[in-house]
Amino acid sequence: MCRRWRNIVFGSPRRLNLRLFCTPKTPARDTLDVWPALPLLIFGDTSLTSGTDDITGLPKCHNDIVALGQTSRVCRVDLWHLEDRQLGKVLAAMQVPFPQLTRLLLISYGESPPVVPDSFLGGSAPHLQFSELSGIPFPGLPKLLLSATHLVTLYLLNIPHSGYFSPEAMVGLLSWTALSLRLQSPQSPPDWESRRLPPLRHSVIPALTYFEFKGVIEYLEDLVSYIDAPQLDYSHIASFNQIDFDGPRLAQFISRTSALGDHEAHVEFDNSTASVRLPSPSAIENLCREPGWQLSSVAHVCNSCLPPLSMIEDLYIDHRSKEYTLPFHMSVEIALRDLARNTLTPSNVLSVSFLKVSRGCAAARE
């Protein structure tokens, strides 16, 4: 680049939205001394830089740590395949405020990841808009969220049991458009036995359109008792092998979300899950393999979580496994017919207008 164009470009860094891109292999100390003080994007696969440098003896994630030292310039951090030691060094470097940070993605692949301390980001993230943490315990996250008034997307994936925080603590932010919570452990919440009655009022999250949850039904029941999401158009809920899937608060949440209260339902089975899907698209899924347990969980979902069967006009049954035989399909059909008879009045049985069993099994009409 000639000097003239260089002067023009660097003379208008904000208008041109200039950023300095740093990867784990970028010689950060030398690069940062040469380039102007532009906002920094720290981005990369840390598995490519594990171990120590043969010449300097420094950890190969050293470049990321040096770049993180420019706390007033860092606006984006995307680091994945973090080993436990690497994650510990990254967290140690991020114990002070990062006032320009708008995006944070940290994905741990370690076996015993360190717990994120309450002092992470200096306890404040005023400009954070997107955050994804995977496999990282952060029990103090709700405190940080109180300052993240611009946060619209939050993905918390593979949350270890050591990273537990109460559902009530998650509902202070009303600007979310997407929320994903995936718990790693099938254990019930530590405070499940002492949980309180549902609140009289709900926090309305007007912009929330995407909701995903994986974990135990007890945690989900508490969470949805605190929120309303009138614009929700996608939800996916998966539970850990829970036969007694009792979700009255989830049913109330669905009833308060008009897009989820559809008149069509699909019951699907495969080798590891049984699910009930609505065309919204939305799904409630139980992670279990035994066919009898799958049938039981579907019955509980239909009874306690969906709109009344009197509102369901079309009910479809399908499977995605060659292991299921015709006798299994017959037991599915009998179980769902019994469910319909026990739930619907005789005058409403005709509401289940079509019952379809795939892979050569006869379709039946009520």
Residue 159 has pLDDT above 70, yes or no: yes
pLDDT of residue 358: 41
Query: Is the separation of the CB atoms in 49 and 60 below 8 Å?
Result: yes
pLDDT at 16: 64
Average pLDDT over residues 138-150: 91
On the question of pLDDT at 20 being above 60, the answer is yes
- pLDDT of 78 reads 96
Q: How far is the C-alpha of 235 from the C-alpha of 262, rounded, in Å?
A: 13
Q: What's residue 36's pLDDT?
A: 75
Q: Binning pLDDT at 50, 70 and 90, where does residue 338 land?
A: low
Query: What pLDDT does residue 198 have?
Result: 67
The average pLDDT across 99-117 equals 94
Q: Which residue has the higher pLDDT, 350 or 200?
A: 200
- Work out the average pLDDT over 118-147: 94
- Report the C-alpha gap between 303 and 309 in whole angstroms: 8
Please indicate whether residue 203 or residue 295 has the higher confidence score (pLDDT). 203
pLDDT score for 150: 93
pLDDT in tens, 39-68: 999 998 988 765 554 444 455 567 888 889
pLDDT tens string 231-245: 888 888 888 766 666
Position 105 scores a pLDDT of: 97
CA distance 107 to 62: 18
Angle at 52 between CA 50 and CA 54, to 5 degrees: 130
Average pLDDT over residues 21-41: 80
The first and second tokens of residue 102, run together, are 């708008």
Q: Tell me, what's the pLDDT at 144?
A: 92
Q: Specify the higher pLDDT residue, 76 or 32.
A: 76
Strand partners, 42: 22, 77
In angstroms, rounded to a whole number, what is the distance separating the alpha carbons of residues 92 and 89? 5
Please give the mean pLDDT across all residues of the chain.
76
- Confidence tier at 312 by pLDDT (50, 70, 90): low
Q: Is the pLDDT of residue 292 over 70?
A: no
**What was the pLDDT predicted at 262?**
55
For residue range 216-229, what is the model confidence (pLDDT) as tens digits? 888 888 888 888 88
Evaluate if residue 271 carries a pLDDT over 50. yes
C-alpha to C-alpha distance for 70 and 83, rounded to whole angstroms: 23
Mean pLDDT is lowest, of 97-106, 132-141, 353-362, for: 353-362
Mean of pLDDT values over 76-80: 95
DSSP three-state, residue 200: coil
- The residue ranking higher by pLDDT, 71 or 192, is 71
Name which residue leads in pLDDT, 263 or 161.
161
